[in-house]
């Protein structure tokens, strides 16, 4: 199936919607079954009130469904069975009946002319409201690829065919109706657990909802995942330890569960969790799915027996092929009938994966005294057995039934407005920059050190003839070296871009909000970096005094720093690896320095390439010439006594004859040009992200058509 959308199906769409959230206080998972005080599902989701009364309050129907860290295991599978769901009158936000037929995915081979490598071959299945579908299989079997295919998240260079339908039609899910929990936990390391979820709640939940209720809802979701004791602990990263990997996974799940999506994709939700935490997390997800009619599709590596009992359906893959699909409770019988019974007291999931993992077939053959079937032979037997009418036809009949389900298409749920998102993102980015020592504070320390070094080396230049050259050197080092240090913040830029991409794919906000908020939050820090070291350097070296000249000096330096920051953001999008990005950024700035008009005077630059266009593209040209005009206009210096005695040289003559500065416009025009370049670089960053979103899916779609 060709992919035509640049974003996953749950990304924001321009379709109108009505307000979805109606709050009364409390939390939907802490409510009482009688509908007394506290939140009720009908007050949060008005369309759900018709069937809420039929759903049990908890897993076993005995009370609140909130997770408090101590949970009684359900005695039978029926305890988490999906509640009866009637979708009449819920056309605004119907349940998700997801089906896929004959899905094939292949990736282009690296060598020229080589055949594409197949990852998935003819995968068919379905998932419905209130169910938890587990995708299992050995490493490399295609679990994550299948999950990405169903979610519309396949990357470039991957070809996809087959039919993926939602309620019987190809449809793009609107924001809030679908969510994806990635395997990688991409979070801001400087934020606490509470702040991370709360900021996300402010972005995702409607702007009409009071901030107090958003915070209460965020706190409730955090406690549901057993993170109550870690609420005020920071996520942690390269600078601080923070929470554990398993807790980060649960924070990621919290973020995507805030809006109670209709369709939830989970990639390795139990990785990094111990058996108890895995059970509690998955039991809560299964409970929410059963209570609210949520469709859950999870790629699970190797669940424990208790976690396996929570799954309603199982899709077992082996090297891109379907070994079994159907109710999880029928998998054991299927293996037994096929000649691979599960030993007594062994976890069924362990037995399934051990049977179909052929990575160690050689060891089985060498160590076995009796003739035992290898995993490759077992896979062939099981796949053939699954194709029998007893199993495959049941799957096809259920798919045909789901394809006949109609109803209104999905609509975008209400979320925060543009101004609210902009304010929240600016505030979050400001706090992140303030706490990240490596982002600006270490650079400020380096800038202060450089300012002291330059100020003491060029201390009080005076007004001798030799001071002309010294002033030029101070200006060159200020423009080149201080702006070059913006590379130090590149690792933080990369982390910001990763968080942005995850949240952008989930439809939390757009590119414009990110670009504007990043600019607004970074400007105060860049101003501090420019003013404090600039003032120290300016007065230690004895540059031309005057408040207007000093103000121009720091403004020019601030513009240069902002411009380099914008350029590094562009590089962070194009080259996401921070080591390669630093190399590329250093190379680009090095080339710009060579064409800045200092190392080689403008009239001496080779005209092809280096002067036209590199000289006019380099921001160093406008920064250096602005500094020159600010420093030399209105000044006089004694001439070189070896050439001409008792004669003074005006600053204007120095600019025109010795430095070859363009004098057809004032120094403030140079500031305006630098400001315009900052805007151009930010717009270029915006355009690169948007073009990537538009072009990559179209190219993937073209490849899909060629393969048909």
Could you tell me if 304 and 278 are in contact, meaning their C-beta atoms sit under 8 angstroms apart? yes
Tell me the β-bridge partners of 135. 299, 315
Burial string for 134-154 (b: 16+ CB within 10 Å, else e) reads: bbbbbeebbbbbbbbbbbbbb
Per-residue model confidence (pLDDT) at position 366: 45
> Is the pLDDT reported for residue 39 higher than 60?
no
The one-character DSSP state at 207 is: T
The dihedral built from the CA positions of residue 397, 398, 399 and 404, taken in this order, carries a sign that is positive
Per-residue model confidence (pLDDT) at position 79: 35
Per-residue model confidence (pLDDT) at position 226: 86
Query: What token pair was written down for 12?
Result: 């924001």
Model confidence at 388, in pLDDT bands (50, 70, 90)?
confident
Query: Region 374-389: what's the mean pLDDT?
Result: 87
Query: Region 77-105: what's the mean pLDDT?
Result: 58
Looking at per-residue confidence, does 284 or 89 come out higher? 284
Per-residue model confidence (pLDDT) at position 93: 57
Pairing of strands 608-609, 263-267: unpaired
| Digit-coded pLDDT (tens) for 500-544 | 988 888 888 888 999 999 999 999 988 898 889 989 999 999 999
Cβ neighbours of residue 368 closer than 8 Å, sequence gap 6 or more: none
567 exposure class (CB count in 10 Å sphere: 0-12, 13-18, 19+): buried
> Residue 493: helix, strand or coil by DSSP?
helix
> Is the pLDDT reported for residue 560 higher than 60?
yes
Cβ neighbours of residue 161 closer than 8 Å, sequence gap 6 or more: 1, 102, 103, 104, 105, 704, 707, 708
| Digit-coded pLDDT (tens) for 585-614 | 889 988 898 888 888 899 899 988 898 899
Tell me the β-bridge partners of 234. 192
Measured at the CA of 345, the angle between CA 342 and CA 348, to 5 degrees, comes to: 45
Model confidence at 672, in pLDDT bands (50, 70, 90)?
very high
> Is the pLDDT reported for residue 259 higher than 60?
yes
Measured at the CA of 550, the angle between CA 549 and CA 556, to 5 degrees, comes to: 90
| Digit-coded pLDDT (tens) for 132-161 | 999 999 888 889 999 989 988 887 778 888
| Digit-coded pLDDT (tens) for 9-37 | 333 333 333 333 333 333 333 333 333 33
Could you tell me if 687 and 512 are in contact, meaning their C-beta atoms sit under 8 angstroms apart? no
Per-residue model confidence (pLDDT) at position 173: 62
> Is the pLDDT reported for residue 484 higher than 60?
yes
> What average pLDDT does the structure give for the chain?
79
Model confidence at 335, in pLDDT bands (50, 70, 90)?
very high
Per-residue model confidence (pLDDT) at position 423: 94
> Is the pLDDT reported for residue 673 higher than 90?
yes
Could you tell me if 649 and 639 are in contact, meaning their C-beta atoms sit under 8 angstroms apart? yes
Residue showing tokens 């070994």: 323
Per-residue model confidence (pLDDT) at position 238: 73
- Give the global pTM: 0.78
> Is the pLDDT reported for residue 412 higher than 70?
no
Q: Report how far apart, in Å, the C-alpha atoms of 314 and of each of 46, 67, 300, 390, 553 are.
A: 32, 25, 10, 16, 67
From the CA atom positions of the chain, what is the Rg in Å? 31
> Is the pLDDT reported for residue 707 higher than 60?
no
Range with the lowest mean pLDDT among 628-632, 665-669, 686-690? 686-690
Per-residue model confidence (pLDDT) at position 641: 62
Q: Other C-beta atoms within 10 Å of 177: how many?
A: 24
Model confidence at 410, in pLDDT bands (50, 70, 90)?
low
Q: Report how far apart, in Å, the C-alpha atoms of 55 and of each of 287, 531, 537, 702 are.
A: 11, 62, 70, 46
> Is the pLDDT reported for residue 72 higher than 80?
no
Burial string for 234-244 (b: 16+ CB within 10 Å, else e) reads: bbbbeeeebbb
């Amino acid at each position: 199936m060709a992919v035509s959308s640049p974003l996953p199906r749950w990304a924001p769409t321009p379709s109108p919607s009505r307000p979805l959230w109606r709050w009364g206080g409390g939390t939907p998972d802490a409510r009482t079954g009688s509908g007394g005080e506290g939140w009720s599902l009908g007050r949060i989701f008005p369309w759900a009130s018709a069937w809420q009364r039929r759903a049990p309050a908890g897993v076993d129907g005995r009370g609140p469904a909130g997770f408090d860290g101590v949970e009684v295991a359900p005695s039978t599978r029926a305890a988490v069975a999906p509640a009866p769901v009637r979708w009449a009158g819920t056309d605004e936000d119907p349940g998700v009946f997801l089906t896929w037929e004959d899905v094939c995915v292949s990736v282009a081979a690296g060598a020229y002319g080589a055949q594409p490598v197949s990852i998935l071959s003819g995968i068919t299945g379905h998932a419905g409201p209130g169910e938890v579908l587990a995708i299992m299989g050995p490493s490399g079997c295609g679990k994550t690829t299948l999950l990405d295919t169903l979610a519309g998240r396949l990357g470039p260079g991957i070809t996809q065919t087959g039919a993926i339908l939602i309620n019987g039609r190809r449809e793009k899910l609107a924001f809030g109706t679908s969510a994806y929990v990635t395997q990688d936990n991409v979070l801001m390391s400087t934020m606490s657990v509470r702040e991370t979820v709360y900021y996300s709640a402010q972005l995702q939940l409607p702007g009409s909802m009071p901030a107090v209720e958003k915070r209460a809802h965020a706190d409730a979701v955090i406690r549901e995942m057993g993170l109550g004791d870690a609420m005020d602990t920071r996520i942690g990263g390269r600078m601080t330890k923070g929470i554990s990997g398993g807790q980060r996974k649960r924070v990621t799940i919290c973020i995507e569960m805030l809006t109670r999506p209709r369709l939830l994709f989970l990639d390795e939700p139990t990785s990094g969790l111990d058996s108890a935490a895995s059970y509690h997390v998955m039991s809560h997800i299964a409970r929410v799915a059963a209570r609210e009619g949520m469709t859950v599709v999870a790629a699970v590596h190797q669940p424990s027996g208790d976690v396996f009992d929570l799954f309603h359906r199982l899709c077992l893959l082996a090297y891109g092929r379907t070994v079994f699909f159907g109710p999880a409770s029928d998998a054991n019988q299927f293996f037994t009938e096929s000649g691979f019974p599960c030993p007594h007291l062994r976890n069924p999931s362990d037995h399934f994966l051990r049977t179909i993992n052929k990575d160690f077939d050689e060891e089985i053959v060498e160590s076995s005294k009796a003739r035992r079937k290898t995993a490759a032979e077992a896979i062939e037997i099981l796949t053939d057995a699954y194709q029998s009418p007893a199993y495959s036809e049941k799957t096809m009949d259920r798919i045909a039934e789901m394809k006949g389900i109609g109803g209104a298409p999905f609509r975008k749920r209400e979320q925060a407005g543009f101004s609210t998102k902009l304010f929240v993102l600016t505030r979050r980015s400001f706090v992140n920059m303030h706490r990240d020592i490596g982002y600006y504070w270490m650079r400020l320390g380096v800038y202060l050190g450089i300012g002291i070094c330059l100020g003491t080396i060029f201390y009080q230049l005076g007004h001798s003839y030799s001071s002309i050259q010294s002033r030029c050197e101070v200006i060159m080092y200020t423009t080149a070296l201080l702006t070059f240090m913006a590379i130090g913040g590149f690792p933080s830029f990369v982390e910001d871009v990763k968080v942005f991409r995850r949240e952008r794919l989930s439809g939390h906000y757009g590119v414009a909000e990110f670009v504007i908020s990043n600019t607004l939050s970074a400007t105060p820090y860049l101003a501090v970096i420019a003013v404090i070291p600039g003032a120290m350097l300016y007065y230690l070296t004895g540059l031309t005094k005057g408040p207007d000249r000093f103000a121009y000096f720091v403004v020019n330096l601030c513009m240069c720093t902002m411009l380099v920051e914008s350029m590094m953001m562009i590089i962070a999008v194009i080259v996401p690896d921070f080591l390669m990005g630093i190399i590329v950024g250093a190379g680009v700035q090095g080339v710009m320095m060579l064409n800045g008009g200092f190392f080689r005077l403008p009239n001496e630059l080779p005209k092809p390439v280096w002067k036209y266009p590199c000289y006019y593209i380099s921001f160093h040209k406008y920064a250096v010439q602005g500094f020159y005009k600010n420093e030399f206009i209105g000044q006089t210096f004694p001439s070189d006594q070896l050439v001409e005695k008792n004669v003074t040289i005006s600053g204007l003559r120095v600019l025109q004859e010795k430095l070859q500065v363009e004098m057809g416009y004032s120094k403030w025009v140079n500031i305006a040009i630098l400001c315009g370049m900052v805007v151009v670089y930010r717009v270029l960053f915006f355009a690169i992200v948007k073009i990537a979103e538009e072009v990559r899916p179209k190219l993937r779609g073209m490849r899909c058509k060629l393969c048909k």
